[in-house]
Amino acid sequence: MSIVTVQLGQCGNQIGHEVFSALCSDLRGTHGLCSKKENESYQESCQERFFCQEESGVPAARAVLVDMEPKVISQTLSMAARSGHWKYSSHSHFCQKQGSGNNWANGYSVHGPRHKEAIMNLVQKEAEKCDRLGGFLTIMSMAGGTGSGLGAFVTQCLRDAFPTSFILNHVVWPYGTGEVIVQNYNSVLTLSHLYHSSDAILVHENDVIHKICAQLMNIKQISFRDVNQVIAHQLGSVFQPTHTAAGGSGYSRNPLGDLMEPLVPHPEFRMLGLRNIPQMPESSLPYSTFSWPGLIKHLRQILIAHAHMEEGIDWQVRPPHPGSSIPSTNKPLHFNTSIANLVILRGKDVHSVDLGSFQDPSLYTSWLNPQDAFSAWKTPRAFNKYEKSASLVSNSQFLLKPLDSIVGKAWNMFASKAYLHQYTKFGIQEEDFLDCFTTLEQVISSYTNL
């Protein structure tokens, strides 16, 4: 099954490029550590999922590029073409000239309706090129105007045009200390709207990835490209072909469905966090070895203790005593309660890995059986030169604190009515803001009371 990716705005297009680049480079690598047959099957599956074969022989990414100004798309297209190993189709992008001015209302209410037809035509074309459409992945930031506002609008259009397809929104959360002054308004507007039309929201936070670049990747002068490459690696670790329990011996034929069905059992809870270990500079890879028990232990503690990476984990945090029914208000505040988790393992000796510690009922809310709350995908084919790689996609309280912080800051600004005139002039009124705040306070409340 194929996934059509929609790259929106500067962030979406920059990350999208790094994702396809990482997927392609992983495909072509000789580090698979598995049989030739296995490797070929993996390559075929990835090709079908993300690329389309064109007459020129160079695979074309199954992607639609959208931006309201031309510079980023132009750069993205040429960088891909220069790689020689993959490219974007020549007619799968749409751009305008004037940008969205970091204004969600401009992206949503003006650009959205104006360009709906042109954008959806491109999406339709890509969808038709797929033998079997597995769903849509959108990549966007929520701080600016295009990715956020136009992205929210396009998501709605996708939902209307493809009512039975899976839609996963990958959303980048900006640095806490401003990239854009009105980022919190744009974020509140985006998340509340996505909550109504998408199936799940997969989040990356710039602050978190920045720390990974600084502390694990040892990069001195961190650029957005560095941040984007870490994000691309993490996304690749989730979306490259895997064996799922349901898939039998072959690679999963329903990647988005297999991901979202177990993780999003209840529509009120759609926020997914992503963790991946180990992470290190490529130059260190040949000198490092890891054991699965070590990796699993770290990953579990990362989950429990709200950690972002394998350094600085608080090992003191423990799940509440199993068996005792503790009302949610008494649960230790720094313990992360999960609704559902998915662990994806790739590389050497995966089948020997014991994941029992992730099935511990004390990690989860009581609604689901621990067997249903936890899923695992194990794939012997190694990913992106990591001999062993473990990813965690989690529907838990990971994002509660960051979400609460964003809503708090937005509310603080809203109370003073600052910048509202910039939104009302494009048709987003105070009542619309209030609706969005209400939606998100509800989400925060729901996650808090797990």
Partner 1 sequence: AVSLPFAVGQCGNQVGCRFWDLALREHAAVNKKGIYDEALSSFFRNVDTRSGDNGSDIYKGKICSLKARALLIDMEEGVVNEILQGPLRDVFDSKQLITDVSGSGNNWAVGHKIYGCQYRENIVEKLRKTAEHCDCLQCFFIIHSMGGGTGSGLGTFVLNLLEEEFPEVHRFVTSVYPSGEDDVITSPYNSVLAMKELNEHADCVLPIENESLFEIVNKIHQMVNSGKLGSTVKQNSLVTSSAGSAKALQEKPFDAMNNIVANLLLNLTSSARFEGSLNMDLNEISMNLVPFPRLHYLVSSLTPLYTLADVNVPSRRLDQMFSDAFSRDHQLIQADPKHSLYLACALLVRGNVQVSDLRRNIERLKPSLHFVSWNQEGWKTGLCSVPPVGHSHSLLALANNTCVKPTFIELKDRFMKLYKKKAHLHHYLQIDGMEQSCFSEAISSLSDLIEEYNELDATKDGPRIEPSRLKIAV
Which spans of this chain sit near partner 1 (rule: CB under 8 A)? Answer: 10, 14, 69-72, 74-75, 96-99, 101-103, 145, 175-182, 210, 213-214, 219-225, 227, 407-409, 411-413, 415-416, 418-419, 421-422, 437-438, 441-442, 445, 449
**Smallest distance, partner 1 to C-beta of residue 220, A:** 8
Residue from 383, 379, 392, 377 nearest 285 by CA: 383
Q: Is the dihedral of CA 27, 28, 31, 34 positive or negative?
A: positive
If the CB atoms of residues 166 and 426 are measured against partner 1, the closer one turns out to be 426
**Smallest distance, partner 1 to C-beta of residue 44, A:** 35
The Cα–Cα gap between 266 and 257 comes to: 15
**Smallest distance, partner 1 to C-beta of residue 251, A:** 35
CA angle, 71 then 102 then 444, to 5°: 130
**Smallest distance, partner 1 to C-beta of residue 420, A:** 9
Let me know: does 95 contact 68? Beta carbons within 8 Å: yes
The Cα–Cα gap between 33 and 19 comes to: 22
Residue 249 CB neighbour total at 10 angstroms: 6
If the CB atoms of residues 351 and 417 are measured against partner 1, the closer one turns out to be 417
Q: Is the dihedral of CA 443, 392, 139, 225 positive or negative?
A: positive
If the CB atoms of residues 376 and 413 are measured against partner 1, the closer one turns out to be 413
If the CB atoms of residues 123 and 436 are measured against partner 1, the closer one turns out to be 436
Lateral strand order in the sheet of 87-88: 51-52, 60-61, 87-88
If the CB atoms of residues 179 and 360 are measured against partner 1, the closer one turns out to be 179
If the CB atoms of residues 146 and 156 are measured against partner 1, the closer one turns out to be 146
Residue 360 CB neighbour total at 10 angstroms: 14
**Smallest distance, partner 1 to C-beta of residue 358, A:** 29
If the CB atoms of residues 223 and 291 are measured against partner 1, the closer one turns out to be 223
If the CB atoms of residues 343 and 440 are measured against partner 1, the closer one turns out to be 440
**Smallest distance, partner 1 to C-beta of residue 174, A:** 10
**Smallest distance, partner 1 to C-beta of residue 27, A:** 26
Let me know: does 10 contact 142? Beta carbons within 8 Å: no
Both tokens of 399, joined, read: 């994002």
If the CB atoms of residues 143 and 392 are measured against partner 1, the closer one turns out to be 143
Cα-based distances in Å from 357 to 12, 46, 333, 336, 374: 36, 31, 21, 15, 10
**Smallest distance, partner 1 to C-beta of residue 157, A:** 24
Cα-based distances in Å from 443 to 18, 83, 265, 436, 448: 31, 43, 15, 11, 8
Both tokens of 84, joined, read: 């020689």
Let me know: does 195 contact 270? Beta carbons within 8 Å: yes
DSSP alpha helices (H): ranges in 264-291? none
Both tokens of 204, joined, read: 């990356």
**Smallest distance, partner 1 to C-beta of residue 268, A:** 12
If the CB atoms of residues 53 and 429 are measured against partner 1, the closer one turns out to be 429
The Cα–Cα gap between 318 and 9 comes to: 41
**Smallest distance, partner 1 to C-beta of residue 450, A:** 12
Partnered with residue 63 across adjacent β-strands are 5
